[in-house]
Structure 1
Amino acid sequence: MTNHKLWSATDCELHCCEIHRYEMAHNTMARCMSTLLDPTRVHTVVARIPEGRVASYGQIAELAGYPRRARWIGKVLSAIPSDSALPWHRVIASSGQITCPRAQDAAQRLKAEGVSVSKRRVSLTRYRWQP
């Protein structure tokens, strides 16, 4: 298993601010979506997913306070650079399928954390994060 440091709230806030500045500078995520939808809330929730666990886009949406916004969560996560310390690879579809644009990279990262991946699927029964 990979040894990742646990993020403090301050670490997460700093990282989220860095991503938000990048998005503003590069006009990504539909111009940062809107002030009503705050990507930093999504980043904060995703940062809490422990190694060896996964969460669905819908679950992240609920926990971030954006119920029924699973697709928007996917857009937020797809804007994160692949070398980010944020564990974007731990968020999958409610069916257990790895559906992100970097699915192969996500599968490799999950396997390195001890998550069993078969045909780009993960067992949510076994690996779902229960905060």
Structure 2
Amino acid sequence: MDWYLKVWQQYADFDGRARRKEYWMFHLFHVLALIAAVLLDNLLDMAFFDGFFGPIYLVYVLASVIPSLAVTVRRLHDVDKSGGMIFISMIPIVGPIWLLVLQCTKGDQGRNRYGRDPKEA
């Protein structure tokens, strides 16, 4: 949970590097929060048009867009790639797979052009 909160504390920080653990733990708790929001919307009968989600889900998704993008860019920095590489996911089929490979790749040891190794801290 500390990794999830760390990303929220660095809400719009696109500088620096993020370890694999920070990235994946954030996304694990993010998915759990999305599920909780959907359940809460449905339990409170607040789902839009008898659908899947409601206002709680929508507010959470809108609030989490920037931190999610920021941690993804910092993760790309850890493998010495520009944050612009996030747009590679727009290429059908191959793009998302390549971005997933980059997110799973071990980060550079030592300092790179985006800062010091987060494991050294």
TM (norm. structure 1) is: 0.29
Question: Relative to total residues, which structure has the larger strand share, 1 or 2?
Answer: 1
Larger Rg: 2
